[in-house]
Amino acid sequence: MKKTNKVIISCAITGSIHTPTLSPYLPYRPQDIAQQAIDAAKAGAAILHLHARRPDDGMPTGEPAAFEQFLPVIKAGTDAVVNITTGGSVVMSLDTRLAAALRFKPEMCSLNMGSMNFSMHRLAAKVKEWKFPWEQSYILNSESNIFRNTFTDVAYIVRQLGEHGIRYELECYDVGHLYNLAYFVDQKLIQPPFFIQTIFGILGGIGADPDNVLFMRRTADRLFGDDYVWSVLAAGRHQFPLTTQGAMMGGNVRVGLEDNLYLDKGQLAKNNAELVSKARNILSQLSLDIATPDEARAILQLKGKNAVDF
């Protein structure tokens, strides 16, 4: 693993997993996404991972017009790195998932490294009344959905985005995804440094166990040596225990309402900045320094804020 003296905090602002019913604080209107992103950056996030929502009902969307309502505002309000999803949601086509990234050519995009079952259907048991009509079926139907990211799909994404100087948050939900990445490295389709986001606790992926964090780290070390920058993401109540473990092992961290709605047990986070501030406080207590956006750009060899199309 590439050694750095700074911890990069990424913040995933809204995502496609959670719905407005599950938390009234989840941003889905463009002005709220923009404000929460800017506030998260002020709290210490160097990278902002962004999905879009329909402003009338909060449904995930891949339409570039939805992203266009908040991307320029975020760029004007912060120096943080903008990272646009290519994952979108499991019900979107590949071209829909790619549309915003191709239109706006950000510094970074997420890149999912394999197909998987990806289910959040258990969340529905917590809800007695839904805010919007689409939410219940969206959550329940995830039990039968497959999140498709075939070798052909990944190669297509890389070839489409690579010519624009975009680098990747390489999302690995299980150990096989690390080996998939190694294949693309062997094919010379993905170049170092690799920003590997190891993800724990999604039903369908590797479990949120401390031993699995060690296992994923050891596997990445064996496959990529000093060519990768490591980060940890954990879902729900596992967010802070496992990101803390990762940071203590020399890694970086991702927090945010896409991955976890709670600040503490039984206490919903009121915004993304609260989650970033908590992560920053933990890191500070461990005597770890936080990377600025420009330091993150240098570590990850990004093209720069002014080389984007928004």
Angle at 215 between CA 292 and CA 107, to 5 degrees: 30
Domain residues of the chain, as ranges?
A: 6-307
| The predicted structure's pLDDT at residue 49 | 98
pTM: 0.97
**Cα radius of gyration (the chain):** 18
Angle at 69 between CA 63 and CA 73, to 5 degrees: 140
Cβ atoms within 10 A of the Cβ of 219, count? Answer: 17
List the pLDDT tens digit at each of the 310 positions of the chain. Answer: 987 889 999 999 999 999 999 999 999 999 999 999 999 999 999 999 999 999 999 999 999 999 999 999 999 999 999 999 999 999 999 999 999 999 999 999 999 999 999 999 999 988 999 999 999 999 999 999 999 999 999 999 999 998 999 999 999 999 999 999 999 999 999 999 999 999 999 999 999 999 999 999 999 999 999 999 999 999 999 999 999 999 999 999 999 999 999 999 999 999 999 999 999 999 999 999 999 999 999 999 999 999 999 9
DSSP H helices, the chain, are 30-43, 64-68, 71-77, 94-104, 135-140, 151-162, 175-186, 210-224, 239-248, 272-285, 293-300
How many Å apart are CA 37 and CA 12, to the nearest integer? 9
Q: For the stretch 230-268, what's the b/e string if a residue is b when 16 or more beta carbons lie within 10 angstroms of its beta carbon?
A: bbbbbbeebbbebbbbbbeeebbbbbbbbbbbbbeeeee
Reduce the DSSP state of residue 122 to 3 states and report it. Answer: helix
CATH superfamily of 6-307: Aldolase class I (3.20.20.70)
Q: Hunting for tokens 């266009």 — which residue is that?
A: 68
| The predicted structure's pLDDT at residue 126 | 85
